[in-house]
Structure 1
């Protein structure tokens, strides 16, 4: 009669969520790679329990506030790289044409982003790395925005040289985004025209220059659960300020155009696992959440570890209306982070 409680206690002791509660929630220590994999392998019937734990971790180590960001493509299409998920590559038969946005349109986009309550506005370009023309356009755009809009400005311009890193820092760029995209072991299946290490080098220089580091990736690109856990652990090693979590929205004409959309339960499990791997990091809902999760899943994600959102449209795909996300935050009683709280 005395064996059952002992056995029950042993099960509880060895359970990954019990481990995570003590390790991450109580002590603030991120899960290790093998523990992240255990979380990703949990059965669906434990999803609600997992999401509740991830939400508790987010609330304890990040607080209730949500950071809101808008993005704009300064230079779209015609990219020379072969990122297999991207319709902006000039190497694929995909429908995105090369185009530049003018400075007045850039300023107007920043104004509209600020009206939503967003504190971050990210200028993005589809390039391997910026040339002199692009750097000049970015500088002019930042100056024009600063003259009319009070908002932090981030950039995502591909791989950088040290000189370019220093230039962006001198422009006052608040945060630089450069995604590692996926686990190092899976990267050659996603991109062949540059390496994972080249991306890592840019991130290292950005950090050393004093800019905040934004680095995440796309889930559902054919990676195994083991590689997804590897990716989360590698991001934890990088210690970025922000991790945008995208879910593959297969684009016609790209090598990944025929991949299946990640199941919602798998996406939610991944969100929670990344929160447990990155307890103090801004974890941002990004592209693909609409097709992967829908409205109900978006709500579950916000209650499962997410504490930041991109509002409006993405670079080449439509997002939820900004008002829908702002309304959702109000419904969940999650305050939008104020501009002075992000400095």
Structure 2
């Protein structure tokens, strides 16, 4: 299929009918020549406005338990298996509430509690319960969690606590996963995601682009996310961290990153597509702007778990400049 052909097909199928691209169609978009990138981004923006509206959902994240994770995710400096500079630290509940207040002050509607673990033990679940309760009593914001792989009982407990959304990324295509993680399987991650959906919580599930995968595997990943149908997809770009097995990988080319953003929007036209980690390194200020006009409709403001992000004021100023309203809390409930 020619570049012109796939964009014509996507306009009819995705923009006109709201039906996402297939894996083969996604690959055709990902491999478009660079001179067709503006057309791809423009179409993705039209799709975003047509099927998601103009609002942007803003979120902040904070790590409740940082470092010391037993898993070997090759991109992650929080793994206890690598000689990276991150060491295990626990965050106290008052600081968690303070971080939620700071996040809400930006206009964010979502605050995510994250822990670097394979899955939560009893101590962590108890601390999450205390944290969720304290935040809900003090701050008017939705609370999300990202605590690794869960049992059915833990899924039900988080839902009972009032956790609004659960994040558990597939990270990459099933075919590429063994090159990224060896201490657990892609299928284990999929099962946690399936249980979260079944329990009635919103599911946040995405991954990282630029970990040595092929364009075909990016298309595969988009199709697998389409099958899972998460409420939100956080799209990260690898920021190679010292001491990890992926420390030597080059940052993804900005044009490839923008093609990926637009293609994921066309593959999942109704899903929240969130800018997450690595965009500052991969895209810079200009590329971040182009992505917001190429299908993105949500953003993490402030810092990430172990890397620095843009100042929240810079992202909020960008949204004002683009005349993109921030989604109100009432619209997320």
- Normalising by structure 1, we get a TM-score of 0.96
1:197 aligns to 2:187 (yes or no): yes
1:273 aligns to 2:263 (yes or no): yes
SS at the partner of 2:274?
A: strand
> What is the total number of aligned residue pairs between the two structures?
333
**1:224 corresponds to which of 205, 214, 224:** 214
SS at the partner of 2:203?
A: strand
Equivalent residue number for residue 3 of structure 1 = none
SS at the partner of 2:286?
A: helix
1:142 aligns to 2:135 (yes or no): no
Root-mean-square deviation (Å):
1.0
Shift of 1:72: 0.3
- Normalising by structure 2, we get a TM-score of 0.99
**2:103 corresponds to which of 99, 109, 113:** 113
Q: Determine the C-alpha separation between the residues in 1 that align with 2:11 and 2:156.
A: 41
> Unpaired segments of 5 or more residues in structure 1?
1-9
Query: Using a 3 Å threshold, how does the CA distance of structure 1 residues 11 and 119 change in structure 2: closer, same or farther?
Result: closer
Detail structure 1 runs of 4+ shifted over 6 Å in the superposition.
Answer: none
Shift of 1:135: 0.2
CA radius of gyration, larger in:
1
Q: Determine the C-alpha separation between the residues in 1 that align with 2:255 and 2:165.
A: 31
Equivalent residue number for residue 211 of structure 1 = 201
Shift of 1:11: 7.1
Q: Determine the C-alpha separation between the residues in 2 that align with 1:215 and 1:208.
A: 15
Query: Using a 3 Å threshold, how does the CA distance of structure 1 residues 236 and 11 change in structure 2: closer, same or farther?
Result: closer
Equivalent residue number for residue 85 of structure 1 = 75
Q: How do 1:87-106 residues align onto structure 2 when only pairs under 5 Å count? A: 87-106=77-96
> Unpaired segments of 5 or more residues in structure 2?
none
**2:314 corresponds to which of 320, 324, 333:** 324
Q: Determine the C-alpha separation between the residues in 2 that align with 1:324 and 1:278.
A: 28
Equivalent residue number for residue 301 of structure 2 = 311
Shift of 1:147: 1.1
1:132 aligns to 2:125 (yes or no): no
Q: Determine the C-alpha separation between the residues in 2 that align with 1:200 and 1:266.
A: 26
SS at the partner of 1:15?
A: helix
1:1-44 residue CA offsets vs partner (Å, 9 max, x unmatched): xxxxxxxxx979x7100000000000000000000000000000
SS at the partner of 2:144?
A: strand
SS at the partner of 2:252?
A: coil
Equivalent residue number for residue 162 of structure 1 = 152
Shift of 1:323: 0.5
SS at the partner of 1:118?
A: coil
Q: Determine the C-alpha separation between the residues in 1 that align with 2:80 and 2:169.
A: 19
